[in-house]
């Protein structure tokens, strides 16, 4: 093999389509754009979703739903994850360091999911009624 003999693979390169170059080319006159209409003209394109002036689908349908921007500051933790954490005193900072809640979390609440056998003292962390009962039954407290 010589450097002057290197070629791209067969079929890898093909000639660019030259439109508007006479009848014989098969792409003369209208250059593959058909006759008249917006799409035949230069600069004649419209935005995505445009329906020729008819009210577009995304505006005909009703708006629905709502996503609260404050949700990212709230977090939940289960009794099971408290059990696995294995700390006697738990606060928001300890949960963040353990990676159980996000770094943006400001309000953390314990939900009753799973079992708790160790006594855990919660400070600055809320709990649902069922979770509070389970924590106190295990000898812990919610402050």
The predicted structure's pLDDT at residue 44: 85
Percent of the chain at pLDDT exceeding 90: 90
The predicted structure's pLDDT at residue 112: 95
The predicted structure's pLDDT at residue 17: 92
Please tell me the distance from the alpha carbon of residue 123 to that of residue 128, in angstroms, as a whole number.
Answer: 14
- Cα angle vertex 103, ends 102, 104, to 5°? 90
Please tell me the distance from the alpha carbon of residue 137 to that of residue 117, in angstroms, as a whole number.
Answer: 9
**Burial classification of residue 110, based on how many CB atoms lie within 10 Å of its CB (0-12 exposed, 13-18 middle, 19 or more buried):** buried
Q: Hey, what are 39's tokens?
A: 């799409």
The predicted structure's pLDDT at residue 86: 87
The predicted structure's pLDDT at residue 45: 84
- Tell me phi and psi for residue 62, to 5 degrees: -70, 150
Mean pLDDT by 10 residues, the chain (143 residues): 93 94 93 92 89 94 94 94 92 95 95 93 95 94 90
Q: Hey, what are 131's tokens?
A: 């979770």
Delineate the domains of the chain, giving CATH numbers in brackets: 17-47 (no CATH), 71-142 (3.100.10.10)
Q: Hey, what are 25's tokens?
A: 């080319």
92 contacts 124 by C-beta, under 8 angstroms: yes
Q: What is the pTM of this model?
A: 0.55
Stated as kind and residue range, the H or E segment containing 76 is strand 74-78
With a CB cutoff of 8 Å and minimum separation 6, the contacts of 119 are 88, 138, 139, 140
Residue 69 is classified by DSSP as T
Which one, of 58, 135, 124, 131, lies nearest residue 91 by Cα?
A: 124
The predicted structure's pLDDT at residue 42: 92
The predicted structure's pLDDT at residue 57: 96
């Amino acid at each position: 093999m010589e450097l002057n003999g290197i070629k791209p693979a067969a079929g890898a390169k093909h000639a660019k389509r030259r439109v508007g170059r006479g009848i014989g080319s098969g792409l003369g006159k209208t250059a593959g754009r058909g006759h008249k209409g917006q799409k035949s003209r230069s600069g004649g394109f419209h935005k995505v979703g445009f329906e020729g002036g008819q009210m577009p689908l995304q505006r005909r349908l009703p708006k629905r739903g709502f996503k609260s921007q404050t949700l990212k500051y709230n977090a939940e933790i289960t009794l099971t994850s408290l059990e696995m954490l294995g700390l006697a005193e738990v606060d928001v900072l300890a949960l963040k360091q353990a990676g159980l809640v996000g770094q943006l979390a400001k309000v953390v609440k314990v939900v009753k999911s799973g079992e708790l056998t160790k006594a855990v003292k919660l400070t600055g962390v809320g709990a649902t009624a069922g979770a509070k009962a389970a924590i106190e039954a295990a000898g812990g407290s919610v402050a």
